[in-house]
Every structure is written in C-alpha cells, then in structure tokens.
Amino acid sequence: MPMQQPALYGSDEIAKHHKSGLWGERLIVDYFDERAERTPTKAAIVEAHRTHTYGQIKVATQNLAAGLLDLGVKLGDVVAVQSPNWAE
C-alpha cells in the first residue's frame, strides 16, 4: 500500500499540478521500490570504493524503518536526518 502524500498544498493547486502532468499519484519511494523489484542487482549508488545495488538499498531502508518503529516512530511522525554526503 503506497504512503499518503502529506497535504502541503490546497486542493486547487494540487488539481492544477496533477492536470499539468507535473504530479503523478505516486511517491518517489514507489518508483524506487518498483526499480528494486525489477533490477535488484543493478547499481544504484556508485562511490569511489564500493557500489550499492537497488536491492541492498531496499533492504537497508526496510531495516531503518523497522528500527524507527522499534523506537516508537509512527506513521505521520516527522523524522529529520543530518548526515554527510555519502551512502550511509
């Protein structure tokens, strides 16, 4: 089941973006999950000394989500992350 996009815009503005083709009905994670299912061994992130596949990233993000749930984070909670610009 896809996640719900938070209401950041009024309904008129949302309708305008959908009609223009700028917005679809899917979130970016939906596209990523589709790619990970189709090509789990394909390189998604290439760094100087290692490569991460779509499948590896999907497993890592599922583990992160499970860890956040264990910490008590619930659907709709806001989580902020500050990190360096590398795959971790």
- Assign 67 to helix, strand or coil: helix
**pTM of the complete model:** 0.67
pLDDT (tens digit per residue) in 61-70: 999 999 999 9
Share in percent of the chain as helix, strand, coil (round to 5): 45, 10, 50
Query: What pLDDT shows up at residue 7?
Result: 60
Q: State the pLDDT confidence band at 3, using cuts at 50, 70 and 90.
A: low
pLDDT tens track for 35-80 = 999 999 999 999 988 999 999 999 999 999 999 999 999 988 999 8
Q: 21: alpha, beta or left, given left = phi > 0 and alpha = psi -120 to 50?
A: left
Report phi then psi at 79, rounded to 5: -125, 125
pLDDT, tens digit (0-9, with 9 covering 90-100), for 6-25: 566 677 877 787 787 776 77
